[in-house]
Amino acid sequence: MSTLRINGGKRLAGEIEVHGAKNSVLPILAASLLANGETVIHNCPGLSDVDAAVKILRHLGCGVKREGTTITIDSSTMDRCDIPDALMREMRSSVIFLGAIVARCGEAVLSMPGGCELGPRPIDMHLAALKSMGAEITETGGNIICRSKKLHGARIDFLTPSVGATENSMVAASCIEGTTVINNAAREPEICDLQDYLNKLGANVSGAGTPVIVVEGRSFKGSAEHTVIPDRIVAATYLTAVACAGGDVVVKDLIPAHVSTITQALEEMGCHIETHGGSIRIVKNENRLVAPRPVITRPYPGFPTDAQPMLMSATLTAAGTTVFVENIFENRFRHVSELRRMGADVKTEGRVAIVSGVEKLHAAPVAATDLRGGAALVVAALGAEGTSVISELKHIDRGYYGLENALRGIGVDIERV
């Protein structure tokens, strides 16, 4: 079992690049099933979740080629409509394939994705949306069977914006007859990226980035070439890393507007932020950081739940008290008990965590509990004196490609053992 050894407490300097967005690549790979021809997707990071999505495409009969960060998919040879349990378990977000498979084949058989480390992750909104488009859904023996002779456009009203359910609805709606209107749609940048890709394939989707998405269904047999957007959560991780360790770093290849809630919080804490095109320079000098206003996670454009754990690491040594309110996932403070091993003073009660800033963190052996919780441990270890050893790296490897090399480039003493 490999571990990361991080000798922290050193100031960071230099430039670091952000890779493509995991949460864009996955729905785009699913949507490539509709292409019925060859599509080329650039900027796909070599993450274990992306490997799992490629395995699913190959299982479904698609031809998939990978060259560096480019994935070429030929979906014209697709000849199956099921995703077996083993593949579903490899990536919890594989439910994202549901809409594409049923729209293309008239049937999809998936095993239930089950719970996850962030608490129960229901898919009722995905299923309700497909039902309103005419799908019949049966759940038997842990399988979901979704059938439709012919899906049709529908009005979908989400009670709360769900990223995955919005994506499944957009994909399914784009190649069926009729108009679909998605109300209270998720507005995340990855939704806009999916809209761009679908429209390149020949679909007619508009409104992504607003609460109302309109999809004029049409048949298309397109092929497309697309470059996925930069990963805003990886960018947030690097920015919080500099805040925690101190230093002067340029984070490159990002879209500053996508991380504005994070940079606002970091500025409030006393970091200096400069934006230049697709780069952000962050400077954290010797002065102690101060606690920011309460950090309340909300759907985009609110503060992202995925960046909450890493920002928490940066607040651990800030003067004062920081309040975190987690509104999206109920089990998203699992990193707290590991951070306490490094000397952090954090109390949790339900969806609220209260950080009382300590003078210093110290190195400790810690275990990643989930993807972003693991990233939070890396960030904290950079600011902690001594060598921390982080285990359970499989969680971190789901979302960060080439993490050690990238961090070494800004002066981090890090090794995978």
Q: Which of residues 302-341 bind ligand UD1 (CB under 6 A)?
A: 305-306, 328-329
Q: Which of 162, 168, 308, 388 binds ligand UD1 (CB under 6 A)?
A: 162
Size of site (CB under 6 A) for ligand UD1: 19
Contact between 26 and ligand UD1 by CB under 6 A: the answer reads yes
| 208 contacts ligand UD1 (rule: CB under 6 A) | no
Which of 22, 20, 14, 18 shows the shortest CA–CA distance to 52? 22
Q: Near ligand UD1 by CB under 6 A, which window of 12-20, 155-163, 356-364, 400-408?
A: 155-163
Nearest residue to the partner ligand UD1, using Cβ: 164
With beta carbons less than 8 A apart as the criterion, state whether 69 and 43 touch. Answer: yes
Residue 357 CA from chain centroid, whole number: 28
Contacts with ligand UD1, 75-114, as mask; x by CB under 6 A:
------------------x---------------------
271 sits near ligand UD1 (criterion: CB under 6 A): no
Strands 279-284 and 295-296: unpaired
131 binds ligand UD1 (CB under 6 A): no
Question: Which of 4, 64, 100, 125 is in the footprint of ligand UD1 by CB under 6 A?
Answer: 125
Q: Containing H/E element for 309?
A: helix 308-315
- Respond yes or no on whether the N-terminal peptide bond of residue 113 is cis (omega within 30° of 0): no
CA distance 121 to 131: 19
Angle between helices 48-59 and 22-31 (to 10 degrees): 10
**Please, what is the minimum distance in Å from the beta carbon of residue 151 to ligand UD1?**
18
Cβ 240 to ligand UD1 shortest distance, Å: 16
As a whole number of angstroms, the distance between CA 74 and CA 151 comes to 24
Q: Does 115 bind ligand UD1 (CB under 6 A)?
A: no
Residue 285 has a CB neighbour count (10 Å cut-off) of 11
For the CB of residue 77, give the shortest distance to ligand UD1 in the complex, in Å: 26
Active-site residue, selected from the candidate residues 44, 81, 116, 146: 116
- 74/306 with CB nearer ligand UD1: 306
163 sits near ligand UD1 (criterion: CB under 6 A) = yes
H/E run at residue 383: helix 371-383
Q: What is the DSSP letter of 129?
A: H
Q: What residue spans of 136-292 are helical by DSSP H? A: 163-174, 189-201, 232-245, 260-269
Asked about 116 being catalytic, the answer comes back as yes
Q: How far apart are the C-alpha atoms of 39 and 87, rounded to whole Å?
A: 23
> Using CB under 6 A as the criterion, which residues of the chain lie in contact with ligand UD1 when the complex forms?
23, 26, 93, 121-126, 160, 162-165, 186, 305-306, 328-329
Positions marked active-site: 116
